[in-house]
């Protein structure tokens, strides 16, 4: 009985851990310690406006936890942040123009449906400093989406370099 209980707990833990896969890319030359402010830039929004607001709120909470605040409207930010939601709709590449002069391309075929991509661009060099990818963030039930998004972003942003170095 004890062995079965331990086995069941181990399987449940592995299933839960696999529910949110994350991956990230980081530019080692990016001066993360100097990033104190950010501004939003165009991305690939969720087709559901409520989900888009939840994603932005969750990213804002994570940035705040990294001691990076939203820049005032008249202030030049240190970084720009874009979110990209990969939906079930297959299709061509989605070109994403950042507020910086560079462009990034999101290829839906490279990501599973429900993936959430967070891009961080250095406002001064106009280069991507960090890209985080969380998958397993969608559900058929909107109430579950909010919880999944928050958990996935919390896990993903654990890998974001600290600005308080």
80-139 pLDDT, tens per residue?
Answer: 999 988 876 544 344 443 444 445 555 545 666 678 889 999 999 989 999 998 876 666
Give the pLDDT score at 12. 29
Please give the structure tokens belonging to residue 141. 């039930």
Q: Are strands 94-97 and 128-135 parallel, antiparallel or unpaired?
A: unpaired
Find the helix or strand (DSSP H, E) in which 26 lies: strand 21-26
**Mean pLDDT for the chain overall:** 75
Domain ranges of the chain: 20-157
Please give the structure tokens belonging to residue 127. 């280069």
- Of residues 159 and 106, more confidently modeled: 159
Which residue, 81, 27, 36, is CA-closest to 55?
81
Query: Domain 20-157 - what CATH class?
Result: alpha beta
pTM: 0.74
Q: Cα torsion at 146, 151, 152, 156 (round to 10°)? A: 140
């Amino acid at each position: 009985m004890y062995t079965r209980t331990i086995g069941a707990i181990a399987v449940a833990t592995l299933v839960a851990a696999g529910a949110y896969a994350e991956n990230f890319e980081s530019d080692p030359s990016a001066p993360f310690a100097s990033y104190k402010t950010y501004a939003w830039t165009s991305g690939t929004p969720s087709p559901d406006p409520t989900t888009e607001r939840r994603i932005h709120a969750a990213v804002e909470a994570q940035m705040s936890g990294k001691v990076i605040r939203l820049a005032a409207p008249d202030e030049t930010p240190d970084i720009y942040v874009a979110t990209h939601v990969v939906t079930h709709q297959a299709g061509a590449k989605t070109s994403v123009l950042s507020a910086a002069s560079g462009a990034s391309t999101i290829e839906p075929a490279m990501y599973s449906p429900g993936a959430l991509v967070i891009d961080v661009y250095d406002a001064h060099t106009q280069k991507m400093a960090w890209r985080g990818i969380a998958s397993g963030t969608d559900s058929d039930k909107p109430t579950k989406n909010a919880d999944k998004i928050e958990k996935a972003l919390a896990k993903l942003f654990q890998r974001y370099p600290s600005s308080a170095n």
